[in-house]
Amino acid sequence: MPLLLSYPRQFQVSMKKEAFVADCVVVVGDSTTWDLGFRRTFYDWEQESVGRLMSKINNSHIAIDTKDTMVWIPAESKTFTVQSCYKVLLPRSEEAFPASAVWSTLAPTKVAFTVWAAYFRKLPTVDALKRRGRICPNRCELCYNEEETCDHILLHCKFSWEIWTFVAQSFNIQWCPPSTLDKSLTFGRS
- pLDDT tens for residues 44-78? 988 998 998 888 888 877 777 778 778 888 888 88
- What distances in angstroms separate CA 111 from CA 80, 87, 114, 119, one per listed residue? 30, 23, 5, 12
Residues 181 and 103 placed together within one structural domain of the fold: yes
Residues 106 and 179 placed together within one structural domain of the fold: yes
Region 82-90: mean pLDDT is 80
Strands 31-34 and 25-28: antiparallel
Residues 110 and 158 placed together within one structural domain of the fold: yes
Confidence of residue 40 (pLDDT cuts 50, 70, 90): very high
At 15, phi and psi to the nearest 5?
A: -95, 0
Residues 47 and 114 placed together within one structural domain of the fold: no
At 120, phi and psi to the nearest 5?
A: -95, 15
Is residue 137 situated within a structural domain?
Answer: yes
Confidence of residue 38 (pLDDT cuts 50, 70, 90): very high
Residues 45 and 120 placed together within one structural domain of the fold: no
- pLDDT exceeds 60 at position 108: yes
Residues 26 and 103 placed together within one structural domain of the fold: no
- pLDDT exceeds 50 at position 190: no
Name the residue range of residue 50's domain.
3-59
Region 141-158: mean pLDDT is 87
Residues 164 and 106 placed together within one structural domain of the fold: yes
Q: What is the pLDDT of residue 31?
A: 81
Is residue 175 situated within a structural domain?
Answer: yes
Cα separation of the two ends of the chain: 40
Residues 46 and 115 placed together within one structural domain of the fold: no
Count of domains observed in the chain: 2
Q: Which residue has the higher pLDDT, 94 or 100?
A: 100
Is residue 25 situated within a structural domain?
Answer: yes
Q: What is the pLDDT of residue 121?
A: 81
Is residue 19 situated within a structural domain?
Answer: yes
Last residue of a domain, one of 11, 43, 59: 59
Q: What is the pTM of this model?
A: 0.44
Q: Three-state SS string across the chain, please?
A: CCHHHHCHHHHHHECCCCCCHHHHEEEECCEEEECCCECCCCCHHHHHHHHHHHHHHHCCCCCCCCCCCCCCCCCCCCCCCHHHHHHHHCCHHHHHCCHHHHHCCCCCHHHHHHHHHHHCCCCCCHHHHHHCCCCCCCCCCCCCCCCCCHHHHHHHCHHHHHHHHHHHHHCCCCCCCCCCHHHHHHHHHC
Q: What is the pLDDT of residue 69?
A: 79
Residues 49 and 117 placed together within one structural domain of the fold: no
User: In whole angstroms, what separates CA 106 from the centre of its chain?
Assistant: 26
- pLDDT exceeds 60 at position 160: yes
- Among the residue ranges 2-6, 39-43, 77-81, 151-155, the one predicted with the least confidence is 2-6
- Residue 144 burial (10 A CB sphere; 0-12, 13-18, 19+): exposed
What share of the chain has pLDDT > 70, as a percent? 88
Is residue 132 situated within a structural domain?
Answer: yes
- pLDDT exceeds 80 at position 165: yes
- The per-residue b/e assignment along 17-32, b for 16 or more CB within 10 angstroms, e otherwise, is eeeeeeebeeeeeeee
Is residue 72 situated within a structural domain?
Answer: no
Is residue 85 situated within a structural domain?
Answer: no
Q: What is the pLDDT of residue 2?
A: 66
Residues 53 and 103 placed together within one structural domain of the fold: no
Q: Which of 131, 136, 170, 167 is nearest to 150 (CA)?
A: 131
Is residue 112 situated within a structural domain?
Answer: yes
